[in-house]
Amino acid sequence: MPTVVPGILADQVKAVSNTALPASLATYAQMWAVGVKGPLYDIYFVETLGGPRTICFMKLYFRFVAGKSETWTSQQEMVGFATRWQADIQNKFNMKSLTTTSTGRIVGLEFHFGSGLYSWEPGDHWTIDVVKVPKGQFYTSNVEHAHGNIVGRTTLFSNDLGPITRQADNKSYRQRPAIHEFVHMIGLPDEYEEKCDADGMRADGFKCSGKPRDPRYVKDYPSVANLGERIRFDHLDAIRNWTKLVAPLSPVEKDRPSLKGITDALAFLKGAPGTDDKTPVMLAKLR
């Protein structure tokens, strides 16, 4: 039996995130949690009735923007896009086994979202602008991380939930742009090689970033950070490593954490742009 710490998870999560808790988390009541607020997402390790989970929570502000020739026609259409975006991300990135704790328990990974359609709110991690474009047209979507007081911003186009086909070395790869952009929203860089002309411009009219790609992954075309949609083990290293640091804090685990482990775990994401200065709160004390 897991050790039950008094308090409802909904309240515990509120205490650190100051954001509305997704309805799906409310059913995890009466268990243990620890969490840290971050610029890309807030991250929690929780004990649920179904076992331990790492939860990445993003608060989003969707803005639906008219394109040159198209406008969003109804609220239903906009809500439909936001709902499908969340479901597609969860279907792709949630997993039953992110890692195992030192006592051998499997930790699942879940992404959860809170979103507002019509107003920015404190605690938002991302503004997601979705530009309406004619069916079948694709443009270069992009992700800018938070800097200073500016919240992170993702630009998508209305067709970005559908796949495009990309070619490399005489093979084709299918990728939904919204799925690819999400890897940047969790902090990963592109893996593909940027093709720049003499003026430092890409074929799509954007400036080349000039950032060298990691040569190990340049030809891993099926990868989600490259031209495909495969999630590689090391794409989740940051989340997995944090999980390994905090898991021993759980009263359900037999190991007791080292001081270094706790300090590192709670310092994760701290100091990054947009992070609260507030010391992360440890939600339940060890006995």
Binding residues for Zn ion (CB under 5 A): 190
> Which C-beta is closer to Zn ion: that of 125 or that of 184?
184
Q: At what angle do helices 177-185 and 75-93 cross, to 10 degrees?
A: 70
Smallest CA-to-CA distance from 22 within 79, 77, 60 is with 60
Round to whole Å and give the CA distance between 166 and 160.
14
Round to whole Å and give the CA distance between 242 and 54.
9
Considering just the CA atoms, what is the radius of gyration of the chain in Å? 20
CA–CA distance from 261 to each of 68, 100, 241, 243, 281 (Å)? 52, 16, 11, 11, 15
Report the 10 Å Cβ neighbour count for 79.
14
CA–CA distance from 96 to each of 90, 93, 99 (Å)? 12, 10, 9
Bridge-based pairing of strands 51-65 and 95-100 is unpaired
Q: Closest approach of Cβ 1 to Zn ion, in Å?
A: 45
Contact in structure between 125 and 152 (CB atoms under 8 Å): yes
> Which C-beta is closer to Zn ion: that of 23 or that of 201?
201
CA–CA distance from 131 to each of 8, 93, 118, 274 (Å)? 39, 24, 15, 25
Q: Closest approach of Cβ 192 to Zn ion, in Å?
A: 8
Report the 10 Å Cβ neighbour count for 209.
13
> Which C-beta is closer to Zn ion: that of 175 or that of 250?
175
> Which C-beta is closer to Zn ion: that of 177 or that of 248?
177
> Which C-beta is closer to Zn ion: that of 55 or that of 143?
143
3-state secondary structure of 17: helix
Q: Closest approach of Cβ 69 to Zn ion, in Å?
A: 26
Round to whole Å and give the CA distance between 276 and 1.
35
Q: Closest approach of Cβ 84 to Zn ion, in Å?
A: 20
Report the 10 Å Cβ neighbour count for 129.
16
Q: Closest approach of Cβ 180 to Zn ion, in Å?
A: 6
> Which C-beta is closer to Zn ion: that of 175 or that of 243?
175
> Which C-beta is closer to Zn ion: that of 121 or that of 190?
190
> Which C-beta is closer to Zn ion: that of 127 or that of 154?
154
Taking CB atoms, the residue at the shortest distance from Zn ion is 190
